[in-house]
Amino acid sequence: MARELHVGETYFTLFYADERHTLPVVETFVYIGRDQRDPDGAVEHMFQFARSYHQGGDWNQMTMSQRNEYTEPPVVTFDAGGLDAVVDVAGLIEALAPLRQRRRKDA
C-alpha cells in the first residue's frame, strides 16, 4: 500500500488475470484527493484513470461541460480499507518481484 498519498502523483493497482499469478493486470491512476461526500461520513480517496488525467486534467478542476463529455466519470474511489490495493512505483516493483523471480527460474 502507498503509505502517504499525494495529489497529482501516480499510483497503481495490481491484480492477476489467472490463478497462477502469471498474467499481471496493472492499472495506472493519478491521486486527485479525498471525497467526503459519502453519506455515512466516511472519507474516500479519489483516483482518476491516467489517460483521462493526461488528456483532460484533474476531474476536480474540470468544468461541468468537460465532465459531460464522459459517459462515465473516469474516477474510482477507495475507502481506507481499499487502499491496501493501491501502490506507488516502489510498491509496484516490489509486488511484481515474485513474478520476475518465477520467470527467471522457469527460463
Q: Where are the domains of the chain?
A: 10-106
pLDDT value for 3: 67
Global pTM reads 0.85
Query: What does 64-102 look like in DSSP terms, one character per residue?
Result: HHHHTT-SS-SEEEE-GGGGGGEE-HHHHHHHHHHHHHH
The percent of residues above 70 in pLDDT, for the chain, comes to 93
Does pLDDT of 42 surpass 80?
Answer: no
14-33: average pLDDT: 94
List, for residues 46-96, the tens digit of each pLDDT value. 999 999 999 999 999 999 999 999 999 999 999 888 898 899 999 999 999
